[in-house]
Homo-oligomer: A and B are copies of this chain.
Amino acid sequence: MTTVSAKRREPAPTPLEDISRQLGAELVNARPGQTVSRLAGLAEAEPGELSFLSNPSYQHLLTTTKAEAVIVAPGVNATGLTLLRVENPDLAFAKAAALILPPPPHPLPGIDPRAVVDPSARLGQDVSVGAGAVIEAGAVIADHCRIYPQAYVGVESEVGEGSVLYPRATLYHQVKLGKRCIIHAGAVIGADGFGYAWTGSEYFKIPQAGVVVLEDDVEIGANTCIDRARFGETRIGRGSKLDNLIQIAHNVRLGAFCAFAAQVGVAGSARIGNGVQIGGQTAVVGHITLGDRLTIVGQSGVTKSIPGAEAGVPEKDRVWIGTPAQPMREQLKEWQNLKGLARLRKKVREMAERLTGGEGNQT
């Protein structure tokens, strides 16, 4: 019996010269043949591990770290320490990780005999489909996709080139994924939108006949739900990233390069621009429009449309917070006023006493 299960590779020592060249870094104080095989934070790093310094307030750790080498910004020095100087240490460290660390143990190419693939489904080259995965009629799996065991691809759904569906990722029918999408375990794409018409005595279910489209390079977190449109489409723009346990209702449209933290909820037909960042547990009501490059702080409740960069709103005014959400500066002032309330009451009481000779003490 064929097994498509992949073994996990151990990380292998990687020469710093190779890493430096690929990052376009300036390599300082390196010994010939010096290698790293793991990554760690500055405080925890051991010999053989690569670390990085991004936030200057941690610069003092350079004198005590045991890291084999550290990725730093231009101009940073540290006597005796092997450094890789780059413009963007955060990004360079992420890229170094991708070079050094083994990738996730995706299933090997091939169709497991215990997978269930409808004869009318079309599969590309170099595709893996794990045991117990189900690919329904008319579905299309493009080249280089990794479909883990137990994933589900509904009738006439399409998975773009190089995409990964983790175990139990579920696409209902006629869902369309772009290239290089990653769908984590338990995510549900294309369930019915939540819509009913009241007949006077019960709810009549409104057919949800639209689709869901995920553009290229979208990543969807574990157990996140994206509902299909009532008609038309629910769409997640190119390169957008959604964390776990997020709710995207029917007919919502997200622009490119949005990033939403876990447990965010977006109600039906909301339109969200490009580059919008939303903190965890925030809710966005339906039928509103959020502009480009807004930042909504976590646990906020956005109740009305907000213009963004596309309307010329400067960055400092594009941060919103609270329920109902308001510009950060207004919310901070409000909190300050609240904190000052006790003092204000005391003041008023004192004034009332001066005015009336003491009758104000019930305020």
Contact = CB atoms under 8 A, between A and B. Distances in A.
A239 B88 CA distance: 42
A40 B209 CA distance: 10
B207 A185 contact: no
Interface string A259-299: 10111010100000000000011010100000000000011
Given A244-B247, A351-B352, A363-B347, A194 B221 contact: yes
Given A94-B197, A283-B298, A137 B6 contact: yes
A293 B337 CA distance: 32
A225 interface: yes
B39 A209 contact: yes
Interface in A346-363: 347-348, 351-352, 354-355, 360, 363
A221 B225 contact: yes
Interface in A202-247: 202-207, 209, 217, 219, 221-223, 225, 227, 231-232, 239, 241, 243-245, 247
The winner among A93, A225, A333, A354 for most chain B CB atoms within 10 A is A225
**For the complex, would chain A's binding face be called helix, strand, loop or mixed by DSSP majority?**
loop
A340 to B, nearest CB: 7
A223 B38 contact: no
A155 interface: yes
Nearest to A301: B299
23 contacts: A6-B137, A7-B155, A39-B209, A41-B231, A44-B232, A91-B199, A97-B206, A105-B137, A134-B167, A150-B152, A166-B172, A166-B191, A167-B170, A168-B168, A244-B247, A247-B262, A261-B267, A263-B283, A267-B280, A299-B301, A334-B338, A338-B341, A343-B363
A344 B363 contact: yes
Contact of A348 (B88, B172, B347): B347
Given A8-B156, A116-B114, A221-B194, A342 B337 contact: yes
A348 to B, nearest CB: 6
B173 A104 contact: yes
B338 A203 contact: no
B348 A257 contact: no
A116 B94 contact: no
A137 to B, nearest CB: 4
A262 B340 CA distance: 34
A114 B149 CA distance: 13
Given A130-B134, A352-B351, A247 B225 contact: no
A59 interface: no
A345 interface: yes
A149 B149 contact: no
A186 interface: yes
A132 interface: yes
Interface in A15-43: 38-41
B173 A185 contact: no
Interface string A163-178: 0001110101110000
B209 A97 contact: yes
A265 B263 CA distance: 7
A108 B29 CA distance: 62
Contacts of A310: none
The 10 closest A-B pairs by CB, nearest first: A188-B222, A247-B262, A91-B197, A191-B222, A116-B131, A97-B207, A337-B341, A94-B206, A225-B244, A105-B155
